A = this chain, B = another copy of it.
Amino acid sequence: MGVTTKDIAQICKVSRTTVNRALSGTGRISEETKELILRTAKELDYHPDILATSLKNGKTQNLGVLVFDIRNQYFAQMVNAIELEAKKKSYFVSINLHEKNKDTEKEILEKLVDYRVEGIIMSPVSKGKNFAKFVNKLGKPVVIIGNNVDESIPFVGIDEATAAIEAVNHIYSKGYRKIVFVCPPLSDAKNENVFTHEQRKKGFEAAVKKHKDIEQDIISGWDYLDKVIALMKNRSNEEGGKTAFFCSGDIYALEIMKALRGMHLKAGEDFGIMGFDNIDVLDYVIPRLTTIDNAVDMVATEAVNVLFDLINGKEVKDKTIVPHLLIEGETL
């Protein structure tokens, strides 16, 4: 590569140790030589070899981020915030996508360790004790966002269940008595980590139980659009009040609105609908979707901070809960 401390040492006619002292500012050294060394270093455009330094002290100034994908706006926003926060601390962020593949996820985690990232922030697709054990064995600080694994790994996120309860109450307060929860497949999820959706569902169930007059339903599965359409066809002539869909993710809500628009049913008029996440896109969709803001920026920033605490050997909480916010739109 370029200029090394050896070169500087030769030129300044001192030892590499002295050069090192001047450069690092540690240890006793005469002002004269120090100045000389610093000056020549600048002249030669000396850049320390970070690989060598890393090899020596084990610090790489790299963080690994592992998420599903970043076409998904939720994660894009998340990674964006993580990068900004990490940059403040002069850390690099290695972005890695597992694409919901559990093998890929494990491979990447191992590779990240091989590459000596100092810590990892991840939204896992795997779950369970075995996976937790695997993660703990990595011997690296790890922070989980989104899908919780277990108490052995620090988690940062919002209180999904409580947020869902608030959502249901809000829907109820708008006069809806038929409320349908829409989410991706949960039970069959072959070991896939769908913690967030499970929590939201729990919240939904807890909330509807409180209101005796709610007629509730749950639509779960990738064919949710068909199910929603079928349901709306059956109910279209019904007099028992309008139906509201509470979707475990804004994208589901957007898809449903799109599909029902095909049936000339308008959100906020012919049916109610609420999402979850408050992704940036919503700004451009009419009518404005009512949703829960899950504070993705704050979650990301907190995650980075917790990770740094771990890296620096501090104690951290099992769970860091960040406040969510109900965003009122026009779809209820």
Contacts and interface: CB of A to CB of B under 8 A. Distances in A.
Nearest to A93: B95
A76 interface: yes
A55 B58 contact: no
Interface of A is mostly: helix
Interface in A32-87: 47-52, 54-55, 58, 60-62, 65, 69-71, 73, 76-77, 79-80, 83-84, 87
A84 B311 CA distance: 28
Interface string A241-281: 00000000001001101100100000000000000000011
Nearest to A107: B87
B60 A71 contact: no
Contact of A93 (B69, B71, B94): B94
A236 B65 CA distance: 51
Contacts of A73: 73, 76, 281
Contacts of A87: 96-97
A285 interface: yes
A80 B69 contact: yes
Interface residues of A, number: 50
A115 interface: yes
Contacts of A95: 65, 79, 83, 93-95
A189 interface: no
Contacts of A70: 70, 76, 79-80, 83
Interface of A: 1, 47-52, 54-55, 58, 60-62, 65, 69-71, 73, 76-77, 79-80, 83-84, 87, 92-97, 99, 110-111, 113-116, 251, 254-255, 257-258, 261, 280-281, 283-286
